[in-house]
Amino acid sequence: MNFCKLLFSLTAISLTFSVLAEEHKSEAVTDEVIKAQNASLYIATEGMGFGPQSPRDISAKAGKNSRSFATAPAYQSMNLCNIHFHTNAEHKGGDFTKFAGNGDGKGGGTGFVYSGELSASEKTKLQADVCSGSHGGLNAGDTVEVHYVHSTAQVKPGPTLGACLSENLSNPQLRVEAQVFVLVNSDSAVDFNKFMELGQSNGYQQALNIPANTGTPVQYAGSTTGPSYNEKGSALQVSWSVRPKAIKVSAQSVGAWCNGNVFKEDHAHGVRNLVTNVNLLSEIK
């Protein structure tokens, strides 16, 4: 294996880890544990040249990390390379401001949930969870944050964030379009698969129905996410667009998507602790 291929392989593995939760459950951790993780993150990144981090409160514009990089093109001029989602919203803001709790400290049971109202019928649980993973499954009433990942590399949609790289372009620009969904038990709810439809548009690989009616996306410079970065910085530079309004979708249809898709996603991933230290954040213009 030559150096370029080795670099490509190692980078792909690193990217994959950014969306994988550790494979075990534990009791909810204390506030002190989360504070210690946040302190470790700051120590690990201070003076090391890391760019701004994610996720964040999209309503808080302050940020002192001045390490800049070129904003990625609009997603319509990039190739969709991966879609995955997280149990609860990683970002805070808009329709998802209710804190789920500290969780297990490893990505499970934390993040933010839908802060709007659901009817009793919408919250009625299905007979069985869907999209079950190491931190449990999903059911009616649950919140997920979907990440539509795009790359300037000439790639096709595939499993893990390694699909966003190419041997011919190992440092592509990356953009994530983020949309929060709420699972409901309703026959009249929107089919989740509508938003997962893939195809080509103007020569680019695309998710053809990324929502355009869920508020003006908050755009900022950040990084990849996932709980593996609770105590260390992510070196990958990402242009983010986070939509502030959530969409209700059929819980059953989310389960159907998990039962088979080109991304081999069969469960929701854990979330990274919300980054609140302004020294680790970019300024939202």
Per-residue model confidence as pLDDT tens digits over 5-60: 434 443 443 444 444 433 334 578 999 999 999 999 999 999 999 999 999 999 99
The answer to whether residues 160 and 16 touch, using CB atoms and an 8 Å cutoff, is yes
The answer to whether residues 102 and 88 touch, using CB atoms and an 8 Å cutoff, is no
Work out the average pLDDT over 232-258. 97
The answer to whether residues 205 and 79 touch, using CB atoms and an 8 Å cutoff, is yes
pLDDT band at 265 (very low <50, low <70, confident <90, very high): very high
Between CA 14 and CA 204 the distance in angstroms is 26
Q: What is the pLDDT of residue 168?
A: 87
Whether pTM > 0.75 for this model: the answer is yes
pLDDT band at 108 (very low <50, low <70, confident <90, very high): very high
pLDDT band at 189 (very low <50, low <70, confident <90, very high): very high
Q: What is the pLDDT of residue 187?
A: 86
Residue indicated by tokens 């983020």? 178
Q: Give φ, ψ of 194 to 5 degrees.
A: -60, -40
Q: With 0-12 CB in 10 A as exposed, 13-18 as middle and 19+ as buried, what is 135?
A: buried
Q: What is the pLDDT of residue 247?
A: 98
